[in-house]
Structure 1
């Protein structure tokens, strides 16, 4: 009766990855905003400027963030799958 250990692990991993993806998207969006603001200031005239975010760098950052989040989610997922549900609900 109830969810299997594998289903609980998958649920915890999925929830953590959703949070990681949302954080990565917000972070990349924020960096685009900061780059836009900096390009309109005196820093925009510096060599190279701040006026563009390179898509390959943004995708690489997103991929690395998701990979790190997935790796760091394994331990909590394993822990959650080994806990007795009655102990968790009674505390």
Structure 2
């Protein structure tokens, strides 16, 4: 499947890398081809991540705030916790 076939409006492609659970793509060659195409799209600015919020450092206060945001159901995009101290 080409990423172009997925469409261009609000399309999400998720890749799971677990050897026992090939969920989206079933062979390594196809995964390689799709990831290479996705990398090209990212480099060209045609594919953007859905990251909308980043909290750092990872501490109790940020964990509580991130959890509350996710549980509220009002989160749009991805929320990332970064920066272990």
Q: Which one has more relative contact order, counting CA pairs under 8 Å at least 6 apart?
A: 1
Return the structure number with greater strand share.
2
Higher-Rg structure is 1
Compute the TM-score of the two structures, normalised by the length of structure 2: 0.29
More helix by share: 1
TM-score normalized with structure 1 length: 0.27
